[in-house]
């Protein structure tokens, strides 16, 4: 997918506020409203933009206890473990990774007690051989 400089600028503006009206997007990009609308529709059509989401306030996000959980899998367990982890609502992201571990799950819970339960829940999934968890103390950069 080849993106232009203006496409990347549009994505940057949307990442700040995805609810901006097209007219405001156009003004920020220095293009006409119809050009901004066409670019937006093209990015949606080619699958660069697949949806719009919610960014949590710093106050709310800082009230959550977040952790990364590194996961080692048994051979041929990836699909089954991925499905099971996908059913855990506290898991916000799951990535395949290289190195000594196979997956990394990002988890957010309202309390340490709840986070501990989610970590135990992941560790108990059939096909999970080992986990290593790190609690996130603060976020230095978020884009």
Within this chain, do residues 37 and 95 fall inside the same structural domain, yes or no?
no
Banded pLDDT at 55 (limits 50, 70, 90): confident
Q: Which residues, 6 or more positions from 15, have their beta carbon under 8 angstroms from its beta carbon?
A: 143
The answer to whether position 101 is within a domain reads yes
- Alpha-carbon gap, residue 67 to 69, rounded angstroms: 6
Taking CA atoms, 86 is separated from 29, 32, 52, 91, 141, in Å, by 37, 42, 20, 7, 26
The answer to whether position 34 is within a domain reads yes
What is the pLDDT at residue 95? 98
| pLDDT tens-digit series, residues 57-73 | 878 877 899 999 999 99
| Residue 1 predicted with pLDDT over 80 | no
Domain range for 65 is: 58-136
What is the pLDDT at residue 68? 98
| pLDDT tens-digit series, residues 84-141 | 999 999 999 999 999 999 999 999 999 999 999 999 999 999 999 999 999 999 888 8
Within this chain, do residues 39 and 67 fall inside the same structural domain, yes or no?
no
Within this chain, do residues 66 and 119 fall inside the same structural domain, yes or no?
yes
The answer to whether position 142 is within a domain reads no
What is the pLDDT at residue 140? 87
**Domain at 103, CATH number:** 3.30.70.920
The total number of structural domains in the chain stands at: 2
Within this chain, do residues 105 and 64 fall inside the same structural domain, yes or no?
yes
Within this chain, do residues 75 and 26 fall inside the same structural domain, yes or no?
no
The answer to whether position 89 is within a domain reads yes
């Amino acid at each position: 997918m080849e993106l232009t400089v203006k496409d990347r600028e549009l994505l940057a503006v949307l990442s700040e506020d995805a609810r901006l009206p097209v007219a405001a997007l156009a003004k920020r990009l220095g293009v006409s409203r119809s050009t901004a609308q066409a670019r937006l529709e093209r990015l949606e059509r080619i699958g660069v933009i697949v949806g719009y989401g919610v960014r949590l306030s710093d106050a709310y996000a800082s009230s959550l206890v977040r952790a990364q959980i590194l996961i080692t899998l048994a051979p041929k367990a990836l699909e089954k473990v991925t499905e099971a982890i996908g059913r855990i609502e506290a898991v916000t992201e799951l990535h395949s990774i290289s190195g000594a571990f196979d997956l990394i799950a990002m988890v957010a819970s309202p309390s340490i007690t709840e986070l501990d339960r989610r970590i135990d829940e992941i560790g108990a999934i059939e096909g999970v051989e080992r986990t290593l968890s790190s609690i996130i103390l603060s976020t230095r950069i978020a884009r």
